[in-house]
Structure 1
Amino acid sequence: MAAEKQKQPILKKISKGLTVGSVITGSTFFRGPPILALGLTKLVKKSSKIDETNINIANGWIGTNNWLIEKVLPELKWHITIDEDLDLNLQGRYIMTCNHQSWVDTTVTQYFGLKRMPLTRFFTKWELIFIPFVGQAFKILGFPMMKRHTKAQIEKNPALKYRDMEEARKSCEQLLSQPFTLLNYLEGTRYTPEKHAQQKSPYKNLLKPKAGGLALALNILGSEIDALVDMTIVYPDGVPGYGDFWLGEVSQIAVNLRKIEIPAWVHGGNYEDDADYRARFQKWVDELWTEKDQLITQLKQQLQAESVN
C-alpha cells in the first residue's frame, strides 16, 4: 500500500504531462495550418478580415491552453490586481512592460489577457521564422520581427543600425490597423541569480532594464496608444520551469497591472542619436524599475503572510 501511495503522485504527474502535451500539440497542428494558409493569401490581397480571422484562431489556441489550466490545474490560486485608473478592454492599444523570469511568463500573460486585452505581441528575432508553424505564425500575426545586428557588424557598416530601426518602425506601424498589446521585456533576458550577480544589479528582484526597445516603441506608437501598462509577475513558491507549471508544482501566482503616466518630454525624442535624451529616458526607466522592485518585495511579503495565516 505504501508503494502504491508513492506511485500515485508520479502517475498523476505522468497523466497530466500526457494530457497537456497531447492537447497543446493537437491544438497547434489544428490551428497552425489555417493561419499559414490565410497568411499566404495576404501576399495577393491585403484584408483586415483575414487579420481578424487569424487573431481569432490564435485566441482559440490560447483559449485551449487556458481551459487546460483551469481543468488540469484547478488548485492553482491566482492573485490578480489591476489599478483602478487602468481601463483595459479588447479594443484598446497598449504598450506593456513586464519582468521576465521563466517561459511560464508568456502563459501567464496569455491567461490573464485573453478576455481583458488584445492579442499580446512582442519583439522577436527574425531567426524564429524558421521554426515550423510558430515562426511563420509570429510573422503573419504581426509580431515585430527584428534582424538584429551586433555592435561589430554595425561598426563595419553603420547603415545597419538605421536598417534595424526602419524594420522596427514598419513592424510597429502595421499594428496600428487593429487593437494590439505590444509587450516588452525590459530586462532583455530571463532573470537568474547568476545573471543578477554578474550584472551587479542594483535591484533586489530584477535585472537592469534596457530602455532602447521601449523608447523605440513609444517613439513610433506613443501618440496612438491608450496606455503604457506595467505588468508584474510574482511566483511566491519560486520561479517555475515550464514543465513544473503544467505538472502542478505551482500553488499560486500573483499578477499586478498598473498604468504608467508618460511624461510629455518622452514623445518626439531621438534615443539613438541624442545622448542627453537617452540618459534622461534611461533615468526615467530606472525609476520605474525601482518602483517595480519595491512592489515585488511587497507582494512576496504579503503572500507569505497570507500563507502563514
Structure 2
Amino acid sequence: MLAYLLLVLNIFLVILNSAFCSTIICIIALFKLVLPTASLKALATRLANKAMWLWATINAWILSASNRVEWDIEGGEDLKKDGWYLMISNHLSWTDIVVLCCVFKDKVPMPKFFLKQQLLYVPFIGMACWALDMPFMRRYSREYLIRHPEKRGQDLQTTRRSCAKFKHTPTTVVNYVEGTRFCHSKKKRNGYEHLLQPKSGGIAYTLAAMGDQFDSIVDVTLAYPENLDKPFKDMLMGRMTKIVVRSRTLPVNEEVQGDYFNDKPYKRQFQQWLSNVWQEKDELLKEIHK
C-alpha cells in the first residue's frame, strides 16, 4: 500500500516539477525570440539551461527522498562545465534521462537529447524541449524513403540546424545509440547480452555537424542490476535499490571524423569503431550484473 501511495505522490511531484520548470523555460524562450543581439540570446539560453538544472535537481531530491538508492558511480573526473561533449549511452527506460541529468548536471553543460518527433506534443515537456533547442527527429522507414527519395538526408539537415545553435554555448549532446529502449523481445540474436544493436547514423550526423567542436565523446554505461524489469516504475514506487553509472571519455580523432555519407571505407571503419565500443560496453554490463 505504501509503495502505491508513493507512486501516486511521486507522479504528482514529477508532473508538478516538470510543469513549473517547463513554464519558466518557455517564458525565457518567448523573450529570447525578441532579443536583439546574439549575446543577449546566449544569455537567455544560459538561463533556460539553469531552469533545466533546477528540474534535474528537484528530480534528484524526489528520487533520494523516495528510495534508498546505492549509487555506484565511476568516471567523469576529467569533465568540465564549460566544454562541448557528445554523450553516448545505452538506453533502458525513462529512468535514464533522470539519472543522466542527476549524475552529470554539475559535471558538464546540461544535456540536450535527440528526441522523437512525437514527443513535441507531450504537454509541458515537448514545448520546453523545443525551447531548449533539442533536436526533434522524424524517422523514416527504408520502404518509405524508397517511395519518397526527397526525404533522404532530412535528419542530417535537422541535426545541423540544431547543432548550429549549440556553437556559442557549451553543450552536451546526448545520443541513445540503440535508437530505442532495451528489452529482451527486441534483442533477438544480435551478439550482445545486455544491449541492442547500435545504430551509427545518428551519432554520425552529430559528428558531421559538430565534430570539430567537441572536446571528447563521453561513453556512459547505465545499469539497474536489482530492478531489471521496470526500473522507472520501481523508482516512482520507492523500490529502486541500486544505480550503476560508468563513464569514460573517448577522443574525437580521425577514427570518428570523416564523410560517413559518401565515403564507404570510412563508413565501414566508423561502424566497426562503434561496434567495438558496444562490445566493450556489453562486457562491462556482464561484470556489473554478476
TM, length-normalised to structure 1: 0.86
2:203 maps to 214
Q: Distance in 2 between matches of 1:179 and 1:287?
A: 29
Q: 1:173 aligns with which of 164, 180, 184?
A: 164
Corresponding letter in the other structure for 2:159: A
2:62 maps to 68
- SS of 1:43's equivalent? helix
Indicate the percent of aligned positions where both proteins have the same amino acid: 29
Note the C-alpha offset of 1:29: 2.5
Q: 2:83 aligns with which of 89, 92, 95?
A: 92
Note the C-alpha offset of 1:120: 0.9
Corresponding letter in the other structure for 1:51: T
- Determine if contact 1:76/1:248 at 8 Å carries over to the other structure: no
Corresponding letter in the other structure for 2:238: G
- SS of 1:87's equivalent? coil
The alignment status of 1:81 with 2:53, answered yes or no, reads no
Corresponding letter in the other structure for 2:224: Y
* 1:244-303 residue CA offsets vs partner (Å, 9 max, x unmatched): 112122211111001123441432x222232222111111111111111111112222xx
Note the C-alpha offset of 1:118: 1.2
* 1:40-72 residue CA offsets vs partner (Å, 9 max, x unmatched): 223322511211111111111111111112222
Corresponding letter in the other structure for 1:236: P
The alignment status of 1:205 with 2:183, answered yes or no, reads no
2:130 maps to 139
1:50 maps to 44
Structure that is richer in helix per residue: 1
Corresponding letter in the other structure for 1:282: Q
Note the C-alpha offset of 1:30: 2.1
Note the C-alpha offset of 1:216: 1.4
The alignment status of 1:223 with 2:217, answered yes or no, reads no
- SS of 1:224's equivalent? coil
Corresponding letter in the other structure for 2:92: Q
Note closer, same or farther for the CA distance 1:32–1:262 as it changes in structure 2 (3 Å cut).
closer
Q: Distance in 2 between matches of 1:255 and 1:71?
A: 20
Corresponding letter in the other structure for 1:68: I
- Determine if contact 1:38/1:50 at 8 Å carries over to the other structure: yes
Alignment: residue pair count = 285
**Correspondence 1:1-309 to 2 at 5 A:** 10=1, 12-45=2-35, 47-73=41-67, 75-82=68-75, 87-197=78-188, 200-239=189-228, 240-267=230-257, 269-301=258-290
Note the C-alpha offset of 1:101: 1.2
Corresponding letter in the other structure for 2:269: R
Q: Distance in 2 between matches of 1:22 and 1:196?
A: 33
- Determine if contact 1:93/1:227 at 8 Å carries over to the other structure: yes
Corresponding letter in the other structure for 1:244: D
Taking only aligned residues, the RMSD between alpha carbons, in angstroms, comes to: 1.7
- SS of 1:254's equivalent? strand
Q: Distance in 1 between matches of 2:5 and 2:147?
A: 54
TM, length-normalised to structure 2: 0.92
Give the gaps of 5 or more residues in structure 2: none
* 1:145-185 residue CA offsets vs partner (Å, 9 max, x unmatched): 22333333332332321333212111112112111111111
Q: Distance in 1 between matches of 2:18 and 2:256?
A: 40
Q: Distance in 2 between matches of 1:161 and 1:42?
A: 32
- Determine if contact 2:23/2:124 at 8 Å carries over to the other structure: yes
Corresponding letter in the other structure for 1:220: A
- Determine if contact 2:80/2:108 at 8 Å carries over to the other structure: yes
Give the gaps of 5 or more residues in structure 1: 1-9, 302-309
The structure that has the greater radius of gyration is 1
- SS of 2:248's equivalent? strand
- SS of 1:266's equivalent? coil
Q: Distance in 2 between matches of 1:238 and 1:59?
A: 26
Note closer, same or farther for the CA distance 1:262–1:56 as it changes in structure 2 (3 Å cut).
closer
